[in-house]
Amino acid sequence: MQIQTITTQPYNDQNPGTSGLRKKVKVFQQKGYLENFVQAIFDSLEGYTGKSLVLGGDGRYFNRVAIQTIIKIAAANGFGELIIGQGGLLSTPAASHVIRKYGAFGGLILSASHNPGGPNEDFGIKYNVSNGGPAPEKDTGAFYQRSLVIDNYKTAVMDDVDLDCIGSQEIDGLKITIIDPVNDYAELMQSIFDFNLLKQSISSGYITLMFDAMSAITGPYAKRILIDMLGAPADSVINGTPLEDFGGHHPDPNLAHAHELAEKMFSDSAPVFGAASDGDGDRNMITGSQIFVTPSDSLAIMAANAHLIPAYAKGLSGVARSMPTSQAVDRVAASYKIPCYETPTGWKFFGNLLDAGKITLCGEESFGTGSNHVREKDGLWAVLFWLNLIAQRRQSVADIVHEHWQKFGRDIYCRHDYEAVETPIANSIVDNLRKQLPELPGQVFGDYTVKFADEFCYEDSVDGSISKNQGIRIGFENGSRIVFRLSGTGTVGATLRIYLEKYEPDASLHNQDAQIALAFLIDLAEQLCEVKKLTGRTAPDVIT
Ligand code: VG1
Ligand code: CO
């Protein structure tokens, strides 16, 4: 194999965020930009010579070009085998599974997840380690440090690989295997859930459903599993063809962006169950006829009912949630007497807990839930979990949710996002909040007395690593919380996220609208951070 060493100039902005490096496509198209970052990753890793690397992405614009570039750099750096999803496609959870199943050294996932795609939109790249999960902070920190000083990259002189033809070939000692992106994942789902029960429930018409793939990666997965394997009617999957620009939409599964599904679920002709997934297939939105299930509630309900699912019949070793996720799952853990861990935002923090067997199930308020079956959050897995639950309990989504609230109380929850705020303003908002922290405990605001106010710092109980500055938390005596943090996945300015929650034990007050129930906390959050005042905005860009 002929290998070239190309001289390059470093870029100073290749610091991975919450989930990999995300930038505008135009940034990735700069000379050597992608090459530098990939070489910086390989330079920071050890022991991969002759081993295999998994490659795949969510099919967004630039996916195919990037894969060809990466193939040549990986070949030149001495990998022995590249396992690539056909067409360059792999959903994030499927990539995680493929890494684990084939014992790969690691994988590169090309995605900017819920961010929009297209020539003027976003692209991203993320390295996952051999457990199938996102690289921990010590690795991503090393990639960044290396990227700041890199002065050359290696690339193999070879033709582009045919990404569409399934099978293995050998090029100068490098094995290249193109796999069906769905097969292994579908098999895994079959091993977790009761497919026979699901088939019966769907074919008998007991469960009707609509799944919105948002013109993103889950289309082929949902069609294979929901339609081909479980017998759902063909029109149950909408927007099921992956498009490079997601049809011009944000592939972000929430009521604002999955509006086609949302309208259906709140109409007279709503099916029993509705769900959506994001650009790379790791997020999920769960709805039922006339009801939206918040991701935090979904996690708690899954934890409370996991024993009804074949793979979790023996119960859960423990659960975890990201810090801003509501405390609903904590109540389930307390009642089941299992541990509950609070981690920083981002799936990479669950990996050690899953590997150590300390938790079985975990989730985030940002429409992400998952378990120890892979090391990423998993959108379709969550969909199948809920379908299995409905089939097993023979209850509607609304009944399952209301019963859960009756038993555990309701954690009324919402998140307000202020997007593309000018970075200096966003930073000053956080600095001002930080300054107020020492004064806040003991202060009384209406019925709310501040119990604690701090900046979340996480110590990993498995490897002892410390992650600082993971968001500002203000907790009240009555269990309510306000959390502020800046997003680590955006590509324009800064996004301020404000998370609000209030515990309501009284069942007669469970059917309140979250915005109304949380109105006092919403006003208090503005009083503390002044985002509206400082940006001149009147409302958040997105409410979830
Ligand atoms: C957001 C979510 C976080 C999630 C991350 C990646 O990060 O808040 O919970 O893990 O996206 O999700 P941030 O830093 O923007 O708040 V995905 O589906 O975009 O890979
Ligand atoms: Co995603």
Atom of ligand 1 nearest to the CA of 18: 14
Question: Would you say residue 201 has pLDDT above 80?
Answer: yes
Q: Residue 455: how many CB atoms within 10 A of its CB?
A: 16
Strands across the sheet with 448-455, in order? 444-445, 448-455, 472-476, 481-486, 494-504, 410-421, 542-543
Q: What is the mean pLDDT of residues 102-106?
A: 98
Nearest of 507, 540, 537 to residue 522 by alpha carbon = 540
State the distance from the centre of ligand 1 to the C-alpha of 366, rounded, in angstroms.
Answer: 7
Q: Report pLDDT digits (tens) over 28-74.
A: 999 999 999 999 999 999 999 999 999 999 999 999 999 999 999 99
243, two tokens: 């498009």
Our answer on whether the CB atom of 487 is closer than 6 Å to any ligand 1 atom is: yes
- The percentage of residues in the chain with a pLDDT greater than 70, rounded to a whole number, is 100
Query: For the range 160-169, what are the long-range contacts, defined as Cβ-Cβ under 8 Å and sequence gap of 24 or more?
Result: 160/68, 161/68, 161/71, 161/84, 163/64, 163/67, 163/84, 163/86, 163/87, 163/88, 164/86, 164/87, 166/86
Our answer on whether the CB atom of 77 is closer than 6 Å to any ligand 1 atom is: no
Q: Report pLDDT digits (tens) over 106-134.
A: 999 999 999 999 999 999 999 999 999 99
Q: Report pLDDT digits (tens) over 265-316.
A: 999 999 999 999 999 999 999 999 999 999 999 999 999 999 999 999 999 9
Q: What is the mean pLDDT of residues 228-236?
A: 96
Our answer on whether the CB atom of 283 is closer than 6 Å to any ligand 1 atom is: yes
Nearest of 70, 109, 106 to residue 93 by alpha carbon = 109
Asked if residues 303 and 283 have their Cβ atoms less than 8 Å apart, the reply is no
User: Model confidence at 506, in pLDDT bands (50, 70, 90)?
Assistant: confident
Atom of ligand 1 nearest to the CA of 114: 19
Our answer on whether the CB atom of 366 is closer than 6 Å to any ligand 1 atom is: yes
pLDDT at 165: 95
pLDDT at 379: 97
113 is an active site residue: yes
State the distance from the centre of ligand 1 to the C-alpha of 536, rounded, in angstroms.
Answer: 26
State the distance from the centre of ligand 2 to the C-alpha of 116, rounded, in angstroms.
Answer: 11
Secondary structure element (H or E) that encloses residue 191, with its range: helix 183-192
State the distance from the centre of ligand 1 to the C-alpha of 19, rounded, in angstroms.
Answer: 7
User: Model confidence at 1, in pLDDT bands (50, 70, 90)?
Assistant: confident
Crossing angle between the packed helical segments 397-408 and 295-305, to the nearest 10 degrees: 80
pLDDT at 321: 98
Q: What is the mean pLDDT of residues 176-188?
A: 97
The strand pairing partners of 473, in sequence order, are 454, 483
Nearest CA to ligand 1 atom 6: 19
pLDDT at 493: 79
Our answer on whether the CB atom of 284 is closer than 6 Å to any ligand 1 atom is: no
Taking the alpha carbons at both ends of the chain, their separation in whole angstroms is 52
Q: What is the mean pLDDT of residues 461-472?
A: 92
**Which among 19, 44, 113, 147 is annotated as catalytic?**
113
Our answer on whether the CB atom of 480 is closer than 6 Å to any ligand 1 atom is: no
Nearest CA to ligand 1 atom 1: 489
pLDDT at 256: 87
State the distance from the centre of ligand 1 to the C-alpha of 488, rounded, in angstroms.
Answer: 7
State the distance from the centre of ligand 2 to the C-alpha of 22, rounded, in angstroms.
Answer: 12
Q: Report pLDDT digits (tens) over 278-289.
A: 999 999 999 999
Q: What is the mean pLDDT of residues 345-353?
A: 94
Atom of ligand 1 nearest to the CA of 280: 18
Nearest of 44, 247, 63 to residue 140 by alpha carbon = 44
Nearest of 514, 362, 529 to residue 431 by alpha carbon = 529
Q: Any idea which ligand is nearest the CA of 281? A: 2
Nearest CA to ligand 1 atom 20: 113
pLDDT at 530: 85
User: Model confidence at 376, in pLDDT bands (50, 70, 90)?
Assistant: very high
Q: Any idea which ligand is nearest the CA of 17? A: 1
Atom of ligand 1 nearest to the CA of 377: 18
Q: Please tell me the chain's helix, strand, coil percentages from 3-state DSSP, rounded to the nearest 5.
A: 35, 25, 40
Secondary structure element (H or E) that encloses residue 202, with its range: helix 195-203
pLDDT at 536: 87
pLDDT at 532: 85
Q: What is the mean pLDDT of residues 377-381?
A: 98
The alpha-carbon radius of gyration of the chain (Å, integer) is: 23
Mean residue pLDDT across the chain? 95
Nearest CA to ligand 1 atom 13: 487
Q: Report pLDDT digits (tens) over 15-30.
A: 998 889 999 999 999 9
Alpha-carbon gap, residue 294 to 299, rounded angstroms: 9
State the distance from the centre of ligand 1 to the C-alpha of 395, rounded, in angstroms.
Answer: 31
**Phi, psi for 69 (deg, rounded to 5):** -65, -45
How would you class 332 by CB atoms within 10 Å of its CB: exposed for 0-12, middle for 13-18, buried for 19 or more? buried
The strand pairing partners of 369, in sequence order, are 363
Q: Report pLDDT digits (tens) over 413-456.
A: 999 999 989 999 999 999 999 999 999 999 999 999 999 999 99
Indicate the top mutation candidate among 21, 364, 489, 544 to test ligand 1's pocket, ranked by most ligand atoms within 8 A of CB.
489
User: Model confidence at 494, in pLDDT bands (50, 70, 90)?
Assistant: very high
State the distance from the centre of ligand 1 to the C-alpha of 374, rounded, in angstroms.
Answer: 17
Atom of ligand 1 nearest to the CA of 282: 18
Asked if residues 464 and 448 have their Cβ atoms less than 8 Å apart, the reply is no
Label residue 231 left, alpha or beta by phi (over 0 means left) and psi (-120 to 50 means alpha). Answer: left
Atom of ligand 1 nearest to the CA of 111: 20
Asked if residues 18 and 346 have their Cβ atoms less than 8 Å apart, the reply is yes
- The percentage of residues in the chain with a pLDDT greater than 90, rounded to a whole number, is 91
Nearest of 374, 419, 417, 397 to residue 281 by alpha carbon = 374
pLDDT at 19: 83
User: Model confidence at 392, in pLDDT bands (50, 70, 90)?
Assistant: very high
Helix (H, G, I), strand (E, B), or coil: what is residue 180?
A: coil
User: Model confidence at 398, in pLDDT bands (50, 70, 90)?
Assistant: very high
Alpha-carbon gap, residue 201 to 199, rounded angstroms: 6
Our answer on whether the CB atom of 325 is closer than 6 Å to any ligand 1 atom is: no
Secondary structure element (H or E) that encloses residue 333, with its range: helix 328-336
Our answer on whether the CB atom of 364 is closer than 6 Å to any ligand 1 atom is: yes
Our answer on whether the CB atom of 121 is closer than 6 Å to any ligand 1 atom is: no
